[in-house]
A and B are shown apart, each in its own frame.
Chain A
Amino acid sequence: MADSAAVPASPEVLAPRRNRALGKFLRHRGAVFGAGVILFFVLLAVFAPLIAPFDPLKTSFSAIRKAPSALHWFGTDELGRDLLSRLIYGARASLLAGVASVAIAVGIGVPLGLLAGYYGGLLDMAISRLAEAMLAIPFLILAIALAAFLGPSLTNAMIAIGLSVMPIFVRLTRGQVLTVKAEDYVEGARAIGLPNLWIILRYILPNVTAPVIVQATLTIAAAIIAEASLSFLGLGQQPPNPSWGSMLNTAKNFMSQAPWMSIFPGMAIFLVVLAFNLTGDGLRDALDPRDH
């Protein structure tokens, strides 16, 4: 980190660094595969109405728990709804929950980490202790408690997950700021009397973004599993709207009669989470300043 932090983040310096990182990322086969899978699911979610063969909410009592066939590629559920269509629409809930909850966490956690790291003192102590206290409560238990208290819905699940993972970003950002603010160019900026907000935004923030991006990508994977877990427990997306977690919650009651109801939603969660983990690993390697 020190090597990258020693160089002011001017656009002239950042551009070749960015190209080098992109080149490294593209050479990481796993990461490219992961990014491809993410893109595939994003396209599914965005164009769901065009791609899904059936209405995901339409029940059909003549097609209850039908095994996969030419008509229903992934079979049907306990109400005769087409599983493939529900899976395609369910991608919306999972991806939205993953991205939105991490956006909440980054949106609150990064500014708090910047303030704690830059100003230090009592403010740092208060923010750091609060983050530590939140990290002491197991992530899923905190998310379940918050989601239950806020009420079961996809939005509340996203808020609960976002707040639960937020301290990770506080701690990460604070640590990065402590390294960067000791650099000569930050000292110089202070010495010539630049305002603190300008120093934070212009000189410090660009140098903490790389680790935050890597952590955010990996946290999206965890958040998608968390959303599926909350929906599995009945605290996330509410019926009849589809979500992969709630589909598995129903499927567990029909394990012997309709195993396909369990297999496909679980496979979708696994693939997306794997894709984000692979991409996160690739980004970490590509953005690692020790290699510059």
Chain B
Amino acid sequence: MLRIIGRRALVAIPTIILVSMLAFGLQKILPGDPILTIAGEERDPQVIAFLREKYRLDDPIPLQYLAWIGQVLRGDLGISLRTDLPVLTLIAQKLPVTIELAALAMIVAIVIGVPMGILSAVKKGTALDYTANAVALSGLSIPNFWFGILLIMLFSVELGWLPASGYVPPGESLSKNLTTLLMPAFVLGNALAASLMRHTRSAMLSVLKSDYIRTARAKGLLTPVVVLKHALRNALIPIVTVTTLLFGELLGGAVLTEQIFTIPGFGKLVVDAVFNRDYAVVQGVVLCTAVGFIALNLLADILYVLVNPRLRHA
């Protein structure tokens, strides 16, 4: 098993190197000269020359990349042009907020998606199945940001039950923290719930056709026992891996959700950086998200091996 995990980890290395090249290349295809932005309005030629040397912009691009990747490996992602803070510090400040939001969204997705998928598979071809499928398809088709606006209009503007925006750290007040994150987590988890429902349904349908399930039924076991004890255990194998991969997608989805609910997280950081032409932050965010996503892929592979007895003993 360790060999399988080791092989998968080795395969991830060239992908990470290519991702770093892409993140670096993004800055190179930028229109305009970032140095002119840093140099300010006066654009003193001496300052510009100093900055070009400081950032090694006169070096050939491969050398610039090697210098940059060397810095990255030492934990230096550069300095934000706007805040003058190290990019890594900014990411470290914002990431926990997004991870909390993503974790809550994942809970919403699992609580809604998995039971709906199981029910839909067990009651295949019934009104319940069609309704669950229609709900899932609607969940996949509804734009996150519009769903967020609708929820704000209902629960904040009309009913006044929940705050429309903002974020309270859990250390300050856990109840307020959960109140502020309830709607964003539901919005973010909604599309995921739909996706998870479809995967669960498909996995359950394929397991429910198996011979051992037919045997369990023939033995006279009750349907809930057959479904929850025998079928679900095997159907969970693909569901666990899919859930891990979907967690990575949450980071992308968080961009808009954080924008609507004004949550100071990772997504808002990247949007603000884009609008302020804070390239080092954009580069850092792209690199960190991609490496995180690759790590999640690896984790999904490892989980797949761990939860699948046939591979575990291979």
Contacts and interface: CB of A to CB of B under 8 A. Distances in A.
Contacts of A266: 143, 146, 149-150
B252 A277 contact: no
Interface string B23-37: 000100111000000
Contacts of B197: none
Contact of A141 (B21, B137, B144, B270): B270
Q: Which of A130, A133, A134, A229 has the most CB of B within 10 A?
A: A133
Contact of A149 (B19, B31, B152): B31
Given A259-B153, A270-B146, A138 B260 contact: no
B289 A138 contact: yes
B223 to A, nearest CB: 28
Given A138-B289, A229-B256, A277-B140, A248 B19 contact: no
A145 interface: yes
Given A140-B255, A141-B255, A149-B26, A269 B146 contact: yes
A63 B31 CA distance: 41
Nearest to A221: B141
Interface in A249-275: 251-252, 255-256, 259, 262-263, 265-266, 269-270, 273-274
A221 B141 CA distance: 8
B47 to A, nearest CB: 25
Given A137-B293, A138-B249, A141-B285, A274 B137 contact: yes
B98 to A, nearest CB: 12
A138 B142 contact: no
Interface of A: 129-130, 132-134, 136-142, 144-146, 148-151, 221, 225, 228-229, 232-235, 248, 251-252, 255-256, 259, 262-263, 265-266, 269-270, 273-274, 277-278, 281
Nearest to B19: A133
A138 B290 CA distance: 7
B248 interface: yes
Contacts of B150: 262-263, 266
B199 to A, nearest CB: 15
A185 B226 CA distance: 46
B153 A262 contact: yes
Interface string B1-39: 000000000000011001101100010011100000000
